[in-house]
Amino acid sequence: MGVCERAGGWRWQGSAGALRAAVGVLLLLRLGLAQSVPPHTVCPAAASPQSLTEPQYQHTAEEDASVGFMEALVQSFLHTVQPNPFPKDLILKIVQDFDVQLNQEIIKEALVYEVGFLVCTAIGVLYIVLMPIVGFFLACCRCCGNCGGKMYQKQTSSVDCRRRTLYWTAFVTTVILLAGNICMFKSNKAIKVSVDQSQAELNKTIDNIQSFLTAVPQQVDHVVNESYRTIQEVTGNLDAIGPQLGREIQERFRGTLDPALHSIRLLEQETVDISLQMIGLNSSWAQLQSSMDRLQANFTAVKNQIDNTLSNPKCAGCNNLRPVLEKLTLDTSITMPSLNQFQSAVDEINKIDLRSKIKEAEDYFDSIPQIVTNNTKDVVQSSKQQLGKIKTQISQVTNEIPLSALTNVSETLNQLQRDIDRVTPEFKRAEHIRWAACVAVCCVVLLVVVCNFLGLVLGPLGLTPKANPTERSCTADCGGTFFIMGAVVSFLFSWLFMIAVLLLFLLGGNVYTLLCQPWTDGQLLKLIDTPGLIPGLDIGSTLGLKTDISISDIYRDCEKDQPLWTTLRLYELINLEDLLDVTKYTEEIRKHFEETNITLSTIAVLSPEVKNQLRRFSNIATNIDSTAVMQQMNNISSINLNTTADRLDELAAIQINNDAREELENEARNLRQIQTDIETIIIPQLNNLNSTIKSLESTAKKSNETVEEVLSNVGAAQDFLNTNTKQIVKTESMKFLDCQLSYFINYADWANITITQQVGRCGLVARAVNSVEIILCSYIVESLNAFWFSLGWCMIFFIPSIIFSIKLAKYYRRMESSDVYDDDLNMSRIPRAQMKFS
């Protein structure tokens, strides 16, 4: 009855226990989700600084093999004419004495250096003077009938051999002239193409340099702006110091606090389960007790009926069964162990309200970020002030780097580009005139070549070797006339063309030897590097450097695509490490952080009273024993009323009296029914009760282990919080600070590398200089030299062309008088038109 009386007391606790069970499940889910989230990194990597953006440069001029088709031949000739090395010392003397007066020694030295050009000039002058004179006297002699002017040809046995010899020499000379003329046309076209492209190429080169000059300040600003981004990031982290630093402190606590809270949650869940099992035990016991009482009443009634029947005189032999009846009993009493102490302990645990203890610990855990925020307001504010000073210091990098020099260069280039655009129309008109004049010269030379070829073709075509010279055909006579026309044109224009050759030779040859060649091998840059040669070109003093810097050094570094930091030796001018050194500010921030005290109040996860109650509950939970109940249940299970029922059936079978027989049969049937009730109702209820008791015993033992785990984990967590809280707060604060300061260290390293190794890579400048050299020398000068060389080549071969043409013309022209010669004279035929000339 004790258990039945407690049923009402457990019923309300079962409802509350069910609620706590649901809450416990939710808390376990929350813990599982929290553990599944990856831990926050104490120092997340800062965003990588954006790499420098290189400007997009236009494609500039490159070497063109079609332009320098005569480069090797012309340069070989010029090296023969001028084998002397670059006259650096002579040029310096001329420049230094130019404003005063050139002395005789310098003039003599200059003439000695130019002796090759002087010799060629003398030859050219001699050509210019003699050619018209020789042509004038030759014309006069021919008009007087001399020098081949007499239309008479002596016939000898060697006339055919002489004609063939003159023919082939004239042919070879004409082919050479034609080759030179072709080179003239091609070089003239190359000059025009080079000049036409020069403006566009120069503009592209200037635009590229302008892009470079514009990009350098932008790159420096980019480096400084990246510092602002770093400062903004650190400022944002300081503003969020509560969540960030608080999370790190929470992570350090989580390792010991979470297991303690988890075990408390498990214990709460187990106490809820015990309460539910106690309610189930009470219900099972009440149901079993009701069934047992009803069974006991039925058994007593049946036993009394049997006793009355056996006492009936009409029952034959019934007294023999009375001893069996007296022994027939049904002991259905079951004594439950007392669970009052255990129930009391469970009630105490429920009164503790473990859920509230968990809530207190979680509230303490969740309040850490806000506590950190409140305790660090002053240090955050002072740190922001130091960040402002860091920003001001780093911004001085822009002022320290002499970017104004780049601005001056940019203005100079703008003026140069405007000048180029201004003179371009006049230059194009002049180039058109030059091109037309050169085409006219080429056409005159071509006229001579055409006259010679016409003479070479028509002369033999109309010639009959054995024919009388006075009877030569008109075709042969035209061939001879074309030879004379070629010679006349050669005499008329060769000396004029030689003047052009001489002037272009002196101009192009000296430009090549004094400008292009030393430009290519670096001698020109060494000359420009001479101190005082060009006023205002002292780059070192202009930039304020301690040492001098030469154009050659700059060009050499730019060829290697070096940055301006090393090319212009800005390290002598700027102490970059000092500008990027923010140690004094970071140390001030560190000092403020060390002086800041972040105080976390101590918390008792479980009070000593609660721990004692848990120990008392653990001790009582180990005393639950279901052995006695099992023994009583075995006794009930051993009851067998069927044996007595069988005896009653045997006794009823020998009865004569029908009433007695029926009574015995009914009583046997009732006993079997009671046995059936025991087996179908009582035994299952007993098994259910047994299962409930065993489950309660198992849960109690598990709760005992859980209590031990709670006490162990809570003790460890409490000791950890009591001894390590201050140290954890201090350690995590320093880690957070080191993380923020590491951003500046990483930025300083990046900025140092970027400025010293990437900003202003000047490979474009070297390529621009090379482009100007290609435009001026490889295009224009080479084409110009190819033209005068081709024209001079033709002028030189005009001399043998004139000689061979005049001599060969007499073999084809119709003579006015003839010489008598033997008809049997064996004469060979002159080559005819049907012959193939290669």
Residues 6+ apart with CB under 8 A from 626: 337, 690, 693, 694, 697
Residues 6+ apart with CB under 8 A from 132: 491, 495
DSSP string for 524-572 = HHHHHTSTTSSTT--HHHHHT-SS---HHHHHHHHHTT--HHHHTTGGG
State the pLDDT confidence band at 306, using cuts at 50, 70 and 90.
confident
Q: What is the pLDDT of residues 556-593, one digit of tens each?
A: 888 888 888 888 888 888 888 888 888 888 888 888 88
Task: Decide: 282 and 626 in contact? Cβ < 8 Å.
Answer: no
Residues 6+ apart with CB under 8 A from 88: 523, 526, 527, 530
Task: Decide: 575 and 361 in contact? Cβ < 8 Å.
Answer: no
Task: Decide: 443 and 794 in contact? Cβ < 8 Å.
Answer: no
Tokens of 150: 């007499």
- Range in 100-109, 152-161, 417-426 with the lowest mean pLDDT: 152-161
Q: What is the pLDDT of residues 343-384, one digit of tens each?
A: 777 777 777 777 777 777 777 778 888 888 888 888 888 888
Tokens of 196: 């036409």
- Range in 172-181, 254-263, 594-603, 815-824 with the lowest mean pLDDT: 815-824
**Of residues 288 and 9, which shows the higher confidence score?**
288
Residue 714, Cβ density class (10 Å: 0-12 exposed, 13-18 middle, ≥19 buried):
buried
Indicate whether 63 pLDDT > 70. no
DSSP string for 744-762 = HHHHHHHHHHHHHHTTT-T
**Of residues 260 and 516, which shows the higher confidence score?**
516
Return the closest-CA partner of residue 462 out of 449, 444, 446, 481: 481
Q: Please report the pLDDT score of residue 435 as a whole number.
A: 92
What angle, 0 to 180 degrees and rounded to 10, lies between the N-to-C axes of helices 683-757 and 608-621? 140
Task: Decide: 757 and 233 in contact? Cβ < 8 Å.
Answer: no
Q: How far apart, in whole angstroms, are the C-alpha atoms of residue 321 and residue 324?
A: 5
Tokens of 44: 């997340």
Task: Decide: 315 and 648 in contact? Cβ < 8 Å.
Answer: no
- Range in 63-67, 149-153, 610-614, 678-682 with the lowest mean pLDDT: 149-153
Tokens of 106: 């310098």
Average pLDDT over residues 462-485: 76
DSSP string for 677-713 = HIIIIIHHHHHHHHHHHHHHHHHHHHHHHHHHHHHHH
Integer CA distances (angstroms), 561 to 63, 369, 540, 554, 558, in order: 20, 52, 20, 10, 5
- What is the DSSP secondary structure assignment for residue 321, as one 8-state letter? G
Q: Please report the pLDDT score of residue 2 as a whole number.
A: 38
Q: How far apart, in whole angstroms, are the C-alpha atoms of residue 455 and residue 168?
A: 12
Residues 6+ apart with CB under 8 A from 758: 52, 219, 563
Indicate whether 502 pLDDT > 80. yes
- Range in 23-37, 64-78, 194-208 with the lowest mean pLDDT: 23-37
- What is the DSSP secondary structure assignment for residue 52, as one 8-state letter? P
Secondary-structure breakdown of the chain: helix, strand, coil percentages, each rounded to the nearest 5: 80, 0, 20
Count the Cβ atoms, other than its own, within 10 Å of residue 2.
Answer: 11
- Range in 176-185, 246-255, 524-533, 808-817 with the lowest mean pLDDT: 808-817
Indicate whether 407 pLDDT > 70. yes
Return the closest-CA partner of residue 495 out of 7, 133, 45, 67: 133
Task: Decide: 573 and 547 in contact? Cβ < 8 Å.
Answer: no
State the pLDDT confidence band at 44, using cuts at 50, 70 and 90.
low
Backbone angles phi, psi at 152, to 5 degrees: -140, 140
State the pLDDT confidence band at 790, using cuts at 50, 70 and 90.
very high
Q: How far apart, in whole angstroms, are the C-alpha atoms of residue 390 and residue 228?
A: 9
Integer CA distances (angstroms), 129 to 445, 790, 798, 818, in order: 20, 21, 15, 38
State the pLDDT confidence band at 334, using cuts at 50, 70 and 90.
low
Q: How far apart, in whole angstroms, are the C-alpha atoms of residue 27 and residue 258?
A: 12
Task: Decide: 394 and 579 in contact? Cβ < 8 Å.
Answer: yes
Most confident residue range from 438-452, 642-656, 796-810: 438-452
Tokens of 61: 């001029």
Count the Cβ atoms, other than its own, within 10 Å of residue 104.
Answer: 7
Task: Decide: 791 and 497 in contact? Cβ < 8 Å.
Answer: yes
pTM greater than the 0.75 cutoff: no
State the pLDDT confidence band at 29, using cuts at 50, 70 and 90.
very low
Task: Decide: 530 and 827 in contact? Cβ < 8 Å.
Answer: no
pLDDT above 70: percentage of residues in the chain: 82
The dihedral through the CA atoms of 194, 196, 202, 205 has a sign that is negative
